[in-house]
Amino acid sequence: MSTIGFIGLGIMGGPMAGHLVAAGHEVTGYNRSPGALEKLKAAGGSAAGSVAEAVAGRDIVITMLPQDEQVEAVFTEILEHAKPGALYIDFSSITPKTAEWTAAEGAKRGLRVLDAPVSVGEPGAVNATLSIMVGGSEADFEAAKPVFAAVGKTYELVGPNGAGQVVKAANQLVVGGTYASSPRRSCSWRAWARTPPRAWMSSPVASRAARSST
């Protein structure tokens, strides 16, 4: 089992971190809300007082954050404190551009990076039945499978870094155009649409995610 630093213990991240503890991983979490940290401790995890403390020396670093800006800020700290060779998994729903940036910057520091946005919402997080769309390398995807198995029902590598975010965006467009309502995300999606990832909407994970969003 792995040592994991988990940043973002909100409605989605809190239950996910608990499932990782239940699966036998050693989880240290950080969140600005003390209440979220207490819940993790009650589940058997450990609480950190900072991002640096949560990620230092860990095999795997995970983030589950609301927006690109938070991911960018937290990842900058992760770059400074994570050990070389650590695997970084971002479950946040962000733009492909930001996902590609984390991969490029992570590579400079010896980090392995996967973007892994999820669908099925809070019930999926609570019940460990998330659908996970992953962008990154085959080797890193294989290394992350124990994490995905602990928090999700279906998970699939859909292409290179950023591709997970593209498939998640496509699902949102299919179920009502909610993703396109954000100018930043809409522009990023249009740029990526010229060279869509493999598997596209035909993948079982993407199809299940689209159905669950309706």
Mind telling me the catalytic residues?
168
Cα–Cα distance, 74 to 156 (Å, whole number) = 25
Tell me phi and psi for residue 79, to 5 degrees.
Answer: -55, -35
- Which region holds residue 212: left if phi is over 0, alpha if psi is between -120 and 50, else beta? alpha
Number of H helices, E strands in the chain: 10, 9
Contacts of 212 (CB under 8 A, 6+ apart): 119, 120, 121, 124, 131
How far apart, in Å, do the first and last CA atoms of the chain sit? 36
